[in-house]
């Protein structure tokens, strides 16, 4: 992964974890380059505006690691990534579970996405998604110190 992509990821992660939404809107990134809020945006518009699958997977793994550490905005991003299928195949169960985990940490943006994903699943998938979301919320629902 190029150093600029890593710098963008680290800068964005710091912004997302250190600021509230209102503060985040007021904070300007340290570099003049475009910053990205989801792994999908990183994959689709990388530092050179060229899709780089390897960088996209690395970025997704970074966000998954942060989501498992309890970062609510990383959980939202991972949920969106599993929902849109641009980096990995669509997985409604994973998407719903990560979005529910973000919602459990008061990330209101997750609510509408959860409803959308829920409507795309069969009853059996909904049962699995519910069970997985309970597991994720109990294990990853609070940011660890």
| pLDDT tens-digit readout, 64-87 | 999 999 999 999 999 999 999 988
| CB-based contacts of 131, cutoff 8 Å, min separation 6 | none
Task: Note the pLDDT of residue 110.
Answer: 97
Task: Note the pLDDT of residue 82.
Answer: 96
Q: How far apart are CA 119 and CA 104, in angstroms?
A: 20
Contact of 72 with 141, CB cutoff 8 Å: no
| pLDDT tens-digit readout, 108-118 | 999 999 999 99
* Nearest alpha-carbon partner for 4 in 46, 57, 40, 41: 46
Task: Note the pLDDT of residue 119.
Answer: 97
| pLDDT tens-digit readout, 85-98 | 988 999 999 999 99
Task: Note the pLDDT of residue 48.
Answer: 64
Q: How far apart are CA 43 and CA 25, in angstroms?
A: 22
pTM: 0.68
In the predicted model, what is the mean pLDDT of residues 26-35? 39
Q: CA-CA distances (angstroms) from residue 94 to 19, 23, 33, 62, 132?
A: 26, 29, 31, 16, 8
Average of per-residue pLDDT values in the chain: 77
| pLDDT tens-digit readout, 99-144 | 999 999 999 999 999 999 999 999 999 999 999 999 999 999 975 4
């Amino acid at each position: 992964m190029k150093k600029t992509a890593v710098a963008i990821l680290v800068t964005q992660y710091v912004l997302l974890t250190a600021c509230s939404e209102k503060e985040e809107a007021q904070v300007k990134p340290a570099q003049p380059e475009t910053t990205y809020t989801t792994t999908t945006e990183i994959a689709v518009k990388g530092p050179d505006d060229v899709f780089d699958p390897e960088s996209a997977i690395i970025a997704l793994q970074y966000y998954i690691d942060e989501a498992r550490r309890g970062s609510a905005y990383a959980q939202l991003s991972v949920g969106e990534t599993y929902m849109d299928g641009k980096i990995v195949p669509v997985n409604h169960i994973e998407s719903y579970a990560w979005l529910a985990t973000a919602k459990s940490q008061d990330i209101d943006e997750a609510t509408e996405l959860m409803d959308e994903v829920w409507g795309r699943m069969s009853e059996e998938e909904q049962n699995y998604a519910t069970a997985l979301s309970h597991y994720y919320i109990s294990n990853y629902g609070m940011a660890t110190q």
